[in-house]
Structure 1
Amino acid sequence: MEQEVDPAVLAVINEKRLMGDKRTPVEIIAKMGVFDARQKASDQAWLATGDTVIATVWAEFVSIDATGRWFCLESLDPQLRPGGGERSALHIQRAKDRIQLLKRSRDSGQGFRAVLQTNRVAIAGLETDKAAKVSMRVPDDQPWQVGSWDADRKVAVLLRGAEAWEPSEADMAAAWSRGSVPVAPPVAALDDVSPESVRAAAIDYLTRHFAGYGYKANVVDDPQSGYDIEVTDKKGATLLKLAVKGTAGNITGFSLSAQERADALRGDPWRLAVVSDAIGPAAQHKLYKPAEIDQAPGLEPLLD
């Protein structure tokens, strides 16, 4: 759904549509060179004229790094659907065809063209909800490429742009929580996660959580602020100011800064938001009112 898409990604899609690119999903891939597009409309990747690989990129799965570059994690496991669970025989075949074409793109070093699209319902129901359907689809003007390809972990990284680059550890950790890959990072990796990667994953989880309910979650970049996310309604009214903390792997505790404690003393709408298993597949959160923060598991006591 649009509410699950990063605002910067959604802005690009909407701009393309406002510029008059309002063709149907079938017409779009047909114009890009897909032969017999109507019969192949439900595929997730195509080999177009000129041996050009075209692949769908669900906008809900796209992450953006600190410098504004887009990427998303790609599952290389055709048997399991995003978020986990066995695929149907039809979806298994479509996944195999897509993986084969992405591998072809990577081996050739030519990259691929992407069509950005959103789902009509929550992306978690992409292959299980009967109402799931492409809501919007636009061709991306920027080239994409397949970056890393890890056959052991069954995951690849799709990168937007022609230049080679790699997402940071923190950005990768946050991307895991978007649900495009049905497996969690290996336990060995969780034993060595950094506080920065856990915090990034916790913030990403909460922004998507509130967006799924139609609220806007604005990330506050000011290090002197006493909160990390401001949640507003459709009219822009502030509902919550969240000081975000996360736990995962070897990161089991956290502390509150002096500014966070000062903001807590001011009361509503400040809340402490603790995301447990922030990097894993079972991330969950709990909000604590200012008077309840000492009850939060993992909160380190103030030093005298």
Structure 2
Amino acid sequence: MESEVDPKVLAVIEEERLSGPPLTPVEVLSKLGVLEARSKPFESAWLATGDSVVAAIWAEYVNVAANGQWYIVESLNAEVRADGRERNATQAQRAEFRLAQLKRAFEAGQGFRAVLQTNRLGIVEAESNRSAKISIRVRDDEEWHVASWSEELQLAVLVRGARGWQPTVDELKSARRSHALPGGAAADGDAAQGASAQDVDEAAKGYIIRHFSSYGYQAEDVSSQALGYDVEVKDKKGGLLLRVCVRGASVGVQTRKLSPQEQASAKGEKLWRLFVVADALTGAAKHKIYKADEVAQVLPDA
């Protein structure tokens, strides 16, 4: 809702809205070269002519840094809405398409065009409530870009304007708490304050044990035995499935590198896997799996 938009952002939207003839949400997209503007007016990302990316930016989610730079912290978890509830299959597919286009732009070092929009109701209603129509949609004349993309933290940072700037850790935490991103609601944010790498790893290990147990597997914590992995996973008959090294990932907490024992186990154990759990201290934890030869992608000095 407009009451949730930073005044500086709202001023830009109003200036753009009043600078020309009134346009419908479909017309705004059409003028940006989106061929599917009429058939898909309420998606969150589109491909325009020239294979360029156009993405919706909810003004309510825009943060304004002390230097005036605008940025958004975007969750890479396509399965969970901003309020923590699961998306249905259609909603998840739309979210995955948006993330795929943003990642493509990031990897190509390209920017993307944005449409700034506000909603008549809270944004969390936009995906499931048909009455939650767009209140205002305008073209943003400034280019946006993906400043960072972290599979480890399950976060991307979208920035408006000049490249080379990123929000600080405190700004990232503040954005997640204030906009209720997965793992960023106030209570969860408070739980993560002052957490150490060991705290995050312990929470991640508990999540992994619960995850495998929920599927009927036997998951045993063996971290005290210094075997080079933390959790041993067996099937219902006791057959060994995986030897899991666990790491938690949280904004502002340095993820630990592999110990010598873990490095040796990674090289010698065929069933060794690294599980990195983002937001382990919150109710929106999500994990990624890496083989031994993929560890260097996510852990320092691996």
Structure 2: give runs of 5+ residues left out of the alignment: 197-251, 253-281, 284-302
Which has the larger displacement, 136-145 or 155-164? 155-164
Q: State yes or no: 1:190 paired with 2:177.
A: no
Q: What does 1:254-265 correspond to in 2, within 5 Å?
A: none
Map 1:266-285 → 2, pairs under 5 A: none
Name the structure 2 match of 1:148.
Answer: 148
Other-structure match for 1:100:
100
Q: Secondary structure at the match of 1:80?
A: coil
Please report how far the alpha carbon of residue 125 of structure 1 lies from its aligned counterpart in structure 2 after TM superposition. 2.1
Q: Secondary structure at the match of 2:141?
A: coil
Matched residue, 1:176:
176
Match in the other structure for 1:62: 62
C-alpha deviations, 1:62-120, integer Å up to 9, x for none?
00101111001111111111121011111111001000000011011111010000011
How does 1:26-65 map onto structure 2 within 5 Å?
26-65=26-65
In 1, distance between residues paired with 2:57 and 2:181? 13
Name 1:78's counterpart in structure 2. Answer: 78
* Pair 1:69–1:39, CA change in 2 (3 A): same
- Give the counterpart letter for 2:57 in structure 1: V
Give the partner amino acid of 2:155. Answer: V
Structure 1 contact 119–135 (Cα < 8 Å) conserved: yes
Q: CA deviation at 1:183?
A: 2.1
What TM-score does the superposition give when structure 2 sets the normalisation length? 0.61
Structure 1 portions without partners, runs of 5+: 194-248, 250-279, 282-304
Q: Which residue of 1 aligns with 2:157?
A: 157
TM alignment of 1:14-33, pairs within 5 A: 14-33=14-33
**Aligned residue identity for 1:54:** V
Q: Tell me if the contact between 2:147 and 2:166 (Cα under 8 Å) persists in the aligned partners.
A: yes
Work out whether residues 75 and 180 of structure 1, in 8 Å CA contact, stay in contact via their aligned partners in 2: no
| Total equivalences in the alignment | 198
Cα shift at 1:188 = 9.3
- For the 8 Å contact 1:60–1:178, the answer to whether it is kept is no
Cα distance in structure 2, aligned partners of 1:15 and 1:21: 12
Instruction: Tell me how far 1:132 sits from its aligned partner.
Output: 1.1
**TM-align CA RMSD:** 2.6
Tell me: CA distance 1:124–1:137, structure 2 relative to 1, closer, same or farther (3 Å): same
Post-superposition CA distance 1:142-188 (Å, at most 9, x none): 01000111112211110001322111222212101233622237899
Query: Any idea what SS the aligned residue of 1:177 has?
Result: helix
Counterpart amino acid of residue 127 in structure 2: E
Residue 109 of structure 1 aligns with an amino acid whose one-letter code is G
Partner of 1:223: none
- Give 1:198-277 correspondences, 5 Å limit: none
Secondary structure of 2:38 counterpart: coil
Residue 142 of structure 2 aligns to a residue whose secondary structure is coil
Match of 1:113 in 2: 113
Residue pair 2:45, 2:56 contacting (<8 A) in 1 also = yes
Letter of the structure 2 residue corresponding to residue 102 of structure 1: L
Tell me the alpha carbon deviations over residues 28-58 of structure 1, each in whole angstroms, 9 at most, x when there is no partner: 1111001131112121111111121100000
Distance 2:57 2:164 in 1: 19
What secondary structure sits across from 2:11 in the alignment? Answer: helix
Structure 2 residue identity aligned to 1:47:
L
Q: Shift in Å at residue 20 of structure 1?
A: 1.8
Q: Identity of counterpart residues, as a percentage?
A: 48
Q: Secondary structure at the match of 2:136?
A: strand
- State the match for 1:126 in structure 2: 126
TM-score by length of 1: 0.60
Residues 73, 180 of structure 1: 8 Å contact kept: no
Q: Which position in structure 1 is the counterpart of 2:289?
A: none
Distance 1:130 1:51 in 2: 30
